[in-house]
Structure 1
Amino acid sequence: MFRSMSSNNAAWPPPPPANETESDKATRLEAEHEAKRISDEIDHALEQERQELRKRRPQTKILLLGQSESGKSTMIKNFQHKFCPATFLAEAEAWRTVIHLNLVRYVNYILELLSIPAAGIQGRGHPDKDNRVLQMRLSPLKHVEVILARAISGEPFGVSSPIGDKVPSFPGRSTEVCIRGGTAWKSLVRGRESLDSSSEYTSRSSIVVDELEDARRILDACKDDIVALWKIRASEEHDLDHARYFLDNAARVADIKYTPTVEDILRARLRTIGVEEYRMSMETSMEKGVDWLFYDVGGARSQRTAWASYFEDVNAVIFLCPISCFDQQLEEDAMVNRLTDSIDLWTTVCKSKLLANAIFILLLNKADLLRAKLKAGIMFEDFVSSYRGRPNKLEHVGEYIREHMKAAHRSYSPKKRPLHVHVTCAIDTKLMSNVLNDIRDAILITVLRQTTFL
């Protein structure tokens, strides 16, 4: 019969031998100490070697491109949720502030519409007694909006800010939350437990935390009135279709004990002006511990001239085309169709010689919104004349756009290279899970080829 191997596994350090003299003990302890020193040196050398290999390994650099509102920020959040889940969870506190600001801006927008006389906006005037009561009871939310916006922007507290106590009023009132790239806004709005020991930073952060706690208490006190307001206005506010998720969930979101869900964070709207850099240390898969560097460059027309400076040494380009925008115009130019602009932008990026060696990944995003529009009877062929006579269904429209953009990639690329195309809905985590795996694998293979490992 074989003896168990575990019975021969000696403990370390081994027990002293029987009848050990003091001299033998001293010799044994010295030998054990020397063995431990050598073992530690080996461990240290191995760790240094690992770190050196990690430093020598080329950094994975990914460029996120696409027009404004194409879903780039949501793509980043999806990637982090999939491959850096611990970091994603740790940042939920910061996203709570953004979500609260989204909700409060939507509510204040509705309140401003109610205050405008009938002559100003057709069909939206004549606030009745119930509306006037709600306006009065929800008036503290203007101050809450100022607090939340100031916390995210990093502006000093106790002084007048550009947002100030003056919330922009309709018309032209935007519900969009904007920040400048590189502001490190997440570190500004985390809870008290995240404060560091630097006196100046801690002092400001402590003020931010106190102000945010006050704002959350006010929001919690107003939650029933927010629900009542939305119940009255939900069928009339077609301008706020993008806001319906948080307004429909107002009671939960405004609650003092609220913690954002994954879907809440994915739906949070925060527009970046300029370039935002995201460094993600992979927490899963074979890439664990390796940094992936993402550059999310602003998609507005005025910001596109700065794109080229980020094109060098890029391993991959992820281009997002919002296919639901076929019936919309650019915010900056009402004469330009958004889908046409996105295709023109794609063609320009494909032509770039600086990106000749990068892998291209095309995400035809917002498929859920496209499906809803087509089902509602909005005809794709009314906006794209070359599509006339074809089925007004997602599968057919999506395939048409896919083939059109694949043809542009073939025609304008400086040299032959792979193209990966996916039809996506960035807020659908189940759908995006498979897409993200494919993207990760494609980028990893490209990086290995570029570094001659394959």
Structure 2
Amino acid sequence: MPARSPPVSPVMPEVNWPPIPPPADSELDRALRLEEEKEAKKRSDAIDHAIELEREEMRKQRHNTKIVLLGQAESGKSTMLKNFQLHFAPKAFQAETEAWRAVIHLNLVRSVNFILDLLRGGTSSGSNRFSPPASLDDLRPLRMRLSPLRQVEIILVKRLSVDNTSRDAAGIDDSTPWYYGRASEVSIRSGSGWKALLCRHRQQLNSHADELVSARQVLDACRDDIVTLWSNPTVHAGLRGEGVCLQEQSGFFLDEALRVGHIDYEPTYTDVLRARLQTIGVEEHHLTFERLASRGEKWIFYDVGGAREQRAAWVPYFEDVNAVIFLCPMSAFDEVLLEDRSVNRLLDSFNLWKTICSSKLLGDKNFILLLNKSDILKTKLESGVSFVRYVKSYNDEPNDAEHVSEYLKRKFVSMHRHLSPRRRHLHVHITCAIDISVMSAVLVRIREVIIMKNLAATDFL
């Protein structure tokens, strides 16, 4: 029997890189091939570099402090964010004040046009409560002189709306000027970049810039007439008859029409804090601290819409935040929601607070409660509005801002204690978000609380 031949081991081909060029490679082919290999290597390196940059950014993001601002519409969330910017990044805040001038002018013009609409009979009931009729006749020349402010409003809305939408699309409707006793607002979608756009218009010589200048000139020419309108007793009597108090609404500048309407007007920090512009959706704001002790520190704020139809957007921002700042407008105890007039605004804040406190996603987060608009609360109570009329459980306690504020503080603290899924600290401040000096101390304390919590979470404490 013949001997069995040993199995032949397969010979693995030697791997060479770069691959051996074909034997018939000409000089031209070789040059083209080498160029293609060079380009492929550059693309590969660029992809690797982009991936590394993305990883680095993700590492940085994990170390950024993230804060979500919660509360119903007009609770002061955007004003609170402006306070953070003013206190911790004053240079960036200063750079944006020019853009806010158009918003402040729009706030003023809309208040004037709101009054003019009431004068012509656009009230909640459809009837004109301004009386006697002779007084309205006396105001007719004044109304005619102020009529150019309609066009000023259209121009400002178009510039702020970024996409040059029409007047109707921007939310202005002459057929329904009266909206539950409130001057109408412009709503800007999140991420619209309106500040940058307005700054570009200021720097460029184009039709947009010319329109803004023309609008300012018209407003300047109408300043004295605005003052005359606002000081007229018939106007104030009619507003009271409709249950309207423009002074208590955000973005009120009628008392300073001469200054704000001047052609050379430059917004003050307080003006910017008082300016009102409603944002639809979730705005993400990046704040880089500029002060020496915290320079370079980065915080990310999520300013979410407070209207009922926007609250479903809140939940995705709960899981990855370091702190929740909840704002309750204390002065709203006698007001109702614009989107549902059967719901009291203070009761709505209570219900929102209960929902947030009981959220398991927020079980280990910092909770900071700001009982806001203490200035308006004080004015309202001193004018004779009874708190117990709207909040029966207040009983016979004094009808003043100090006692009402303490009562609300006890209510919110009690709800937090009973509804929280786990024990945690609650930090409460009674605030007036447009008072810069008072807010400075509050902001420093808020930063200390958040930093201490962050350090504890990373085992530094």
TM range, smaller chain: 0.7 to 0.9
What letter is aligned with 1:153?
A: S
Shift of 1:376: 2.0
The 3-state SS of whatever aligns with 1:362 is: strand
Unaligned runs of 5+ in 1: 1-47, 196-204
What letter is aligned with 1:354?
A: L
Higher mean C-alpha deviation, range 374-383 or range 417-426: 374-383
Shift of 1:94: 0.7
Q: Does 1:63 align with 2:72?
A: no
Shift of 1:124: 5.0
Shift of 1:111: 1.5
Cα gap change, 1:419 to 1:341, in 2 (>3 Å): same
Identity percentage over the alignment? 51
Shift of 1:166: 5.8
Shift of 1:276: 1.2
Equivalent pair of 1:357/1:417 in contact (CA under 8 Å): yes
Task: Please tell me whether Structure 1 or Structure 2 has the larger radius of gyration of its CA atoms.
Answer: 2
The 5 A counterparts of 1:51-450 are 55=60, 58-116=63-121, 120-123=127-130, 126=133, 128-156=136-164, 162-163=169-170, 167=174, 169-172=176-179, 174-190=183-199, 192=201, 206-232=206-232, 235-236=236-237, 237-238=239-240, 239=244, 240-242=246-248, 245-450=252-457
Higher mean C-alpha deviation, range 108-117 or range 186-195: 186-195
Cα gap change, 1:423 to 1:68, in 2 (>3 Å): same
Question: Matched residues in 2 for 1:282 and 1:386: separation?
Answer: 44
TM-score, normalised with respect to structure 1 = 0.81
Shift of 1:128: 4.2
Shift of 1:443: 1.1
The 3-state SS of whatever aligns with 2:294 is: coil
Shift of 1:299: 0.8
What letter is aligned with 1:100?
A: H
Shift of 1:191: 5.3
The 3-state SS of whatever aligns with 2:232 is: helix
Equivalent pair of 2:369/2:426 in contact (CA under 8 Å): yes
Shift of 1:377: 2.2
The 3-state SS of whatever aligns with 2:300 is: strand
Question: Matched residues in 1 for 2:172 and 2:320: separation?
Answer: 45
The 3-state SS of whatever aligns with 2:459 is: coil
Equivalent pair of 1:324/1:366 in contact (CA under 8 Å): yes
Equivalent pair of 2:157/2:167 in contact (CA under 8 Å): no
Question: Matched residues in 2 for 1:371 and 1:438: separation?
Answer: 24
Cα gap change, 1:124 to 1:82, in 2 (>3 Å): farther
Higher mean C-alpha deviation, range 387-396 or range 98-107: 387-396
Equivalent pair of 2:322/2:365 in contact (CA under 8 Å): yes
Equivalent pair of 1:179/1:272 in contact (CA under 8 Å): yes
Cα gap change, 1:56 to 1:436, in 2 (>3 Å): closer
What letter is aligned with 2:236?
A: S
Deviations 1:151-177 (A, max 9, x none): 1111237x7762499645433374323
Cα gap change, 1:452 to 1:211, in 2 (>3 Å): farther
Shift of 1:56: 7.1
Equivalent pair of 1:297/1:307 in contact (CA under 8 Å): yes
Cα gap change, 1:285 to 1:444, in 2 (>3 Å): farther
Equivalent pair of 2:119/2:128 in contact (CA under 8 Å): no
Equivalent pair of 2:171/2:186 in contact (CA under 8 Å): no
Deviations 1:53-103 (A, max 9, x none): 983761110000001111111111111111111111111111100000001
Equivalent pair of 2:333/2:345 in contact (CA under 8 Å): yes
What letter is aligned with 2:416?
A: H
Cα gap change, 1:339 to 1:192, in 2 (>3 Å): closer
Equivalent pair of 1:113/1:124 in contact (CA under 8 Å): no
Unaligned runs of 5+ in 2: 1-52
Question: Matched residues in 1 for 2:355 and 2:122: separation?
Answer: 47
Number of matched pairs? 395
Equivalent pair of 1:351/1:414 in contact (CA under 8 Å): yes
Question: Matched residues in 2 for 1:79 and 1:153: separation?
Answer: 25
Deviations 1:88-135 (A, max 9, x none): 111111110000000111111111222229982223573545421112
Shift of 1:341: 1.2
Cα gap change, 1:179 to 1:137, in 2 (>3 Å): same
Higher mean C-alpha deviation, range 326-335 or range 432-441: 326-335
What letter is aligned with 2:144?
A: M
The 3-state SS of whatever aligns with 2:388 is: helix
Question: Matched residues in 1 for 2:154 and 2:122: separation?
Answer: 25
What letter is aligned with 2:309?
A: S
